[in-house]
Amino acid sequence: GGSEAAKRQAGESAATVVEDGAVVGLGTGSTTAHAIRALGEAVESGLDVQGIPTSYQSRELAREVGVPLTTLDDASPDVAIDGADQAANGDLVKGGGAAHAREKLVADAADRLVIVVDDSKLADALSVPVPVEVLPDARTPVAARISELGGEPDLRAAERKDGPVVTDNGNLVLDCDFGTIDDPVGLATTLSAIPGVVEHGLFVGMADELHVGSADDVTVQRF
């Protein structure tokens, strides 16, 4: 992954778009963590904001830094800030943190989606494996369908737990390598239609802004 300085540039840049009184979707991952920390500091200086977390990780961090929390039952996000594993022309692959089901829910509910990445995430075309969250019972039939589609499904193994990663929703994750993705819309539609697929990591045409951090600078792309 990219440098921490670049992630910080992007995260802190995105935090500045949050206006007083806003409801903010709090994404997952190490780049968004910089935005959440910056929001915590802004709250200390008097910013009135409520966050809607997308994972245990973003919820724990928001609580740690003092960002007040709410839920989609009680509020609608004005803006969501989130990371990505890869970005090409505003389309994203997400799910490196296996949080993409709730991330996509909050991103879709938000009026505006602000993505934060370090410059190592930029590409001309999406080509990293697409995380697909599946019902545990569905992993074998879904893996078979992915193979038929020309993808290479890989059950994501946990690191500090024996066995597979289990998501916050109690599901499993198949990382599906399709090589370069020429038709993100088509693949996203196909994946969503497979029974047993809970959510996939293709966020096509959803991002409104992309804050791209480098070691000592940040640029903003708007879509």
| Contact residues for ligand DER, defined by CB under 6 A | 1, 27-31, 82-85, 94-97, 99-100, 103
Catalytic residue list contains 103: yes
- Closer to ligand DER by Cβ: residue 32 or 50: 32
Using left for φ > 0, alpha for ψ between -120 and 50, and beta otherwise, residue 155 falls in: beta
Q: Residue 135, class by beta-carbon neighbours within 10 Å (0-12 exposed, 13-18 middle, 19+ buried)?
A: middle
Indicate the Cα dihedral angle 187, 193, 197, 201, nearest 10°. Answer: 30
How far apart (Å, rounded) are the C-alpha atoms in residues 94 and 98? 8
> Closest approach of Cβ 100 to ligand DER, in Å?
5
- Residue positions forming the annotated binding site for substrate: 28-31, 82-85, 94-97, 121
- Closer to ligand DER by Cβ: residue 82 or 209: 82
> Closest approach of Cβ 2 to ligand DER, in Å?
8
Phi, psi of 108 (to 5 degrees): -70, -35
User: Among all residues, whose Cβ is closest to ligand DER?
Assistant: 29
- Closer to ligand DER by Cβ: residue 25 or 40: 25
> Closest approach of Cβ 21 to ligand DER, in Å?
25
Overall residue count recorded for the chain in this entry: 223
Active-site residue identified among 103, 133, 199, 209: 103
Q: Annotated catalytic sites, by residue?
A: 103
